[in-house]
């Protein structure tokens, strides 16, 4: 499996794992601030960007093995791991199945999944239902606007980035299957120091799933960003970067 990755900075390694339908470019707001202190490694999940796009569906366990491969290819024995959305699910699996490779864990706007999870918010469910009947550019803008609470420059920047980096439809579906079928019944076994971050206006993954996840992980910290959406690290990059630095040390 070819997994496209890059790194910047020096210091203790930090691995960034992106979510559904976004390439590694989507870590743009956090890479430089974190690279001031850490060796930051980020990559395209299978199914998107410059990574291989094998036939799906995919599982979160497969994506976690890809993340482990990235650590191996960069000769990293142990790293802090930061995952967002689907990437947060991948980070949970990496911390559970390869605990010796994960120093600290930061989970952004994600969920443990399963039958007890809060369902997808109505706005996103409606977008999924309507997207096929909309012009592609209209659907793309709708998904971006749904993922942030802000309007203006943040939306325009994300729309431009997504138009310049369109996801592979089959890869998107394969990744979506991984997220939709994920169920982590082992959250209570996560032993690494863990920080859970979420915006309380998340229209993609109900923010209460982050609250439940933090409650399930022993001694996890929870920080809520009031008025922020799913891509809250695009809306409040400096605040999120400072929070991560304070936690990672």
Please write down the HEC assignment for all residues of 119-158.
CCCHHHHHHHHHHCCCCHHHHHHHHHHHHCCCCCHHHHHH
Residue 200 CA to residue 219 CA, distance in Å, equals 21
By residue range, what is the domain housing residue 193?
Answer: 5-248
| Total domains present in the chain | 1
Helix (H, G, I), strand (E, B) or coil at 104: strand
Which pTM was predicted? 0.97
Residues 6+ apart with CB under 8 A from 204: 85, 109, 120, 121, 124, 146, 147, 229, 230
Residues 6+ apart with CB under 8 A from 133: none
- For tokens 């609470």, the residue is 149
Q: Where residue 145 sits, what CATH number does that domain have?
A: 3.40.50.1820
pLDDT at 131: 85
Helix (H, G, I), strand (E, B) or coil at 228: coil
Low-confidence ranges of the chain (pLDDT < 50): none
pLDDT digits (tens, 9 = 90+) for 96-147: 999 999 999 999 999 999 999 999 999 999 998 998 899 988 999 999 999 9
């Amino acid at each position: 499996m070819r997994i496209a990755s890059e790194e910047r900075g020096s210091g203790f390694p930090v691995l960034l794992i992106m979510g559904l339908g976004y390439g590694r470019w989507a870590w743009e707001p956090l890479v430089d601030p974190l690279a001031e202190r850490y060796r930051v490694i980020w990559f395209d999940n299978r199914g998107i960007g410059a990574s291989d796009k094998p036939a799906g569906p995919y599982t979160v366990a497969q994506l976690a093995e890809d993340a482990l491969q990235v650590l191996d290819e960069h000769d990293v024995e142990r790293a802090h791991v930061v995952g967002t959305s689907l990437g947060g699910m991948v980070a949970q699996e990496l911390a559970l199945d390869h605990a010796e490779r994960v120093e600290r864990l930061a989970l952004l706007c994600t969920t443990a999944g399963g039958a007890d999870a809060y369902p997808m918010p109505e706005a996103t469910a409606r977008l999924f239902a309507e997207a096929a009947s909309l012009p592609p550019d209209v659907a793309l803008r709708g998904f971006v606007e749904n993922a942030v609470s802000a309007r203006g420059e943040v939306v325009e920047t994300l729309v431009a980035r997504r138009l310049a980096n369109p996801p592979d439809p089959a890869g998107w579906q394969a990744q979506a299957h991984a997220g939709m079928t994920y169920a982590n019944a082992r959250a209570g076994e996560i032993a690494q120091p863990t920080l859970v971050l979420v915006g309380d206006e998340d229209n993609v993954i109900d923010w209460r799933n982050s609250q439940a996840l933090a409650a399930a992980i022993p001694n996890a910290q929870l920080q809520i960003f009031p008025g922020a959406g799913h891509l809250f690290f695009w809306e409040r990059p400096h605040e999120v970067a400072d929070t991560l630095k304070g936690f990672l040390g």
